Structure 1
């Protein structure tokens, strides 16, 4: 019998860790079967290849795992071929779009890694005012492609965020005050089912369409989204950086903005941070026109700033001015709560959590501690809504708060994850709502109960739909919030 590593260079085998070598040996036959079965539009890559390294790489190093191989399907039919092969052998696999997931194992695996990198097209249809976009893209690519047409999509707010995970989780955008969430603008999905068939899913399949709007990767692999587009001019905005002594002033200004600015074209994200033990803050501000009406952002402009990059610019320029996070981490986690609105008591608690957690966690190799405050206009969850969605299960007013911790060594993973959960619980207790508002799946930590995101009845409906379209449970072999 030929040794499973016999086709690999000896130098490469020597460099593999025991875990990598075991995974590669266990699944090498599956990798080779896929390679022999897909068309010339697709390819399979192994450890040691630059393409393999790019395929498995994530924004957060803690979300990267060493797969036996990476597969780059180039057609929807080849995605179906891969799904049939991994399903037949019950082989763990991952599907990665942009790679911005902070939860470990959500888009990575030690089995077969499917990279959607070759689904990178953007097609604008002027007659239907829609754009069809591939799920291997990040939002920067989409905005740049649509800019010549003077249109845009309700998409991500900062650079480097993947189209696929963002859209399948719901999608809060700079344009959400005007047009709702990204899922509210979806027209259709090109979906590859686990039996290998490919179908365009629209509102005519009401249950599956509902489930795909926020229900994650539980129903097959999406290769393209078709979304509504909206006119796009130049915009006004950018980033302001403040030193730690201005955190309280910025928190108060954020409350003032939330409570007084009703212009739906205006939006902000306030981030209170501790980087390498030093407190500070960053404001991202946006106005959906070349200039903002006088006074719109005065409450922020009047605070002494360390630096400002606020001007009239293209939408792409604005997004790229706002880093996905100030310090790219080797390891990271998000957690979240959703609040009806930000109150003075809650804002005080967020400031305290930032400073106390930042000081404490910095002693445990914490490199970046951030609380991202995201107020939205009243009624924004009703804008452009044409049908219900799995997320959010209720359209009551609610704004997300993102808790983001970054650190450097694996031995403190549990400590930082527990701290994020504890901080979320403390802040939620201050909100004191009798009925918890649904948590945003794209910010929720990996063990968040399904009912916390999809409500009391949502998980059962999602499970029924998944059973109908994936009766053998193949998608349960991939990461994500699973419908067990």
Structure 2
């Protein structure tokens, strides 16, 4: 490692604001701390870049010395494939900061070091809003590259549907603009973008804040598990309605809370983009006799606090292991869901902070955009189901248990769906095949494979859900 540092110290082309961190320094600790402690990319140095040119020089240096490298954004990706890098350089993008409104207020130039919550707040302060993720502490750009589910997608599409262009550093250090003038690479960047380079900034579509549309009315109902089938029968009716309201989303966390019940309980949350949730939705759930009900009105820049995924909230805390096992679903199969909850009930005590997440973002605009228009493969599913197993870090025995329970829970959720596994790539566990995360259409996989060979011929960007060529 010291030999690597000595070599790197000889590189004088970095800007004065760039920093190089070795293991043991606070900068290295900050850069490599991940939301999932069981994901441990093997890095020997971290370069905090301060410009796109710094990224280029770092890539060129690493290539010259045959050193692998990995871009670091918010540190939330949990795919096991990230563990495949060894003796690498981390290219920490946190030094690339800025959110600037341009093109008569219709676009924002967002630098790759920004976190999602920072972008939300910056837009809010400029009386703008856009499709943004449900967790403040993730990086902003990385979710865009994997499709990106989030607030306002029912109205404006996925995060990736609002990408207008990106600055991209390729494997050889060349920096290019990717947009509609480079249609094939632009297609690939929107859904499989982690495979093609390091994005340093994006031009992103933004919208004026409109009173009513820039806030959410929410209600959270807590139920014991015996109401599972009743609640999700109602939720299925909402999903089945043609042209369901774009303002309506719902989310669930199945959890273990002994203060409520020794068996699993769940919180069912309704989000309505606007001033008030129509009584027809709220009353249907309230009639099922929840243990408790909490109503809140939240603005766009505070909505992530409702689920504890704001800065400082429990969902953003690092230090524990967090393994996700995503499954995309068209509806709630009640038998499958019950089977999963029964398995969840058998988790041993080290997993007591685990949940089964069921995210039902509005999908109106998402479904209207043709599937073939981007590399993101699944615009028909209406639910992101994801067992999230949380447990103490640095315990290989618990890692193995998490993997086994995760597989069981995923299988249970999928059993009666009678479709092959489709998994949201941004939540990927790392045991999925390419078809599960990039789609089952043969033309789609062949196109991605061809573009991977063309734009990353040496496989430099193959540490997050890599396209197999």
Same fold (TM over 0.5): yes
Contact persistence 2:147–2:376 (CA under 8 A): yes
CA distance in 1, matches of 2:410, 2:427: 11
From 82, 96, 105, the equivalent of 1:119 is 96
Q: Deviations over 1:356-394 (max 9, x none)?
A: 33332225x2233322223355654334569711111x5
Report the CA distance shift for 1:332/1:191 in structure 2 as closer, same or farther (over 3 A): same
CA distance in 2, matches of 1:267, 1:79: 39
1:374 match: secondary structure: strand
From 331, 338, 358, the equivalent of 2:321 is 331
From 212, 229, 232, the equivalent of 1:251 is 232
Contact persistence 1:336–1:402 (CA under 8 A): yes
Determine if the alignment matches structure 1 residue 237 to structure 2 residue 217. yes
CA distance in 2, matches of 1:125, 1:307: 46
Q: Deviations over 1:159-192 (max 9, x none)?
A: 3222122111111112122222111111001111
Report the CA distance shift for 1:30/1:92 in structure 2 as closer, same or farther (over 3 A): farther
Give the number of equivalent residue pairs: 451
Cα drift, residue 236 of structure 1: 2.2
Unaligned runs of 5+ in 1: 1-23
CA distance in 1, matches of 2:336, 2:388: 16
Report the CA distance shift for 1:438/1:203 in structure 2 as closer, same or farther (over 3 A): farther
From 305, 326, 336, the equivalent of 1:349 is 336
Cα drift, residue 143 of structure 1: 0.7
Contact persistence 1:451–1:458 (CA under 8 A): no
- Aligned counterparts, 1:175-186, within 5 A: 175-186=152-163
From 171, 184, 187, the equivalent of 2:148 is 171
User: What is the match of residue 295 of structure 1?
Assistant: 280
Contact persistence 2:81–2:464 (CA under 8 A): yes
User: What is the match of residue 222 of structure 1?
Assistant: 199
CA distance in 2, matches of 1:171, 1:438: 15
- Aligned counterparts, 1:243-322, within 5 A: 244-245=224-225, 247-248=227-228, 249-259=230-240, 262-274=244-256, 279-302=264-287, 309-322=294-307
Cα drift, residue 237 of structure 1: 3.1
User: What is the match of residue 14 of structure 1?
Assistant: none
CA distance in 2, matches of 1:400, 1:335: 10
Contact persistence 1:258–1:376 (CA under 8 A): no
Moved over 6 A (4+): none
User: What is the match of residue 12 of structure 1?
Assistant: none
CA distance in 2, matches of 1:241, 1:170: 30
Q: Deviations over 1:219-241 (max 9, x none)?
A: 11001121111233431234626
Cα drift, residue 57 of structure 1: 0.9
Superposed CA RMSD in Å reads 2.8
Contact persistence 2:110–2:202 (CA under 8 A): yes
User: What is the match of residue 132 of structure 2?
Assistant: 155
CA distance in 1, matches of 2:365, 2:224: 32
Contact persistence 1:94–1:479 (CA under 8 A): no
Report the CA distance shift for 1:302/1:89 in structure 2 as closer, same or farther (over 3 A): farther
- Which moved further from structure 2: 216-225 or 318-327? 318-327
Determine if the alignment matches structure 1 residue 442 to structure 2 residue 442. no
- Aligned counterparts, 1:78-157, within 5 A: 78-104=54-80, 106=82, 110-125=87-102, 127=104, 129-157=106-134
User: What is the match of residue 417 of structure 1?
Assistant: 403
From 450, 454, 466, the equivalent of 1:468 is 454
Contact persistence 1:80–1:197 (CA under 8 A): yes
Q: Deviations over 1:319-368 (max 9, x none)?
A: 123224956561121112222222xxx134223312x33332225x2233
CA distance in 1, matches of 2:79, 2:182: 30
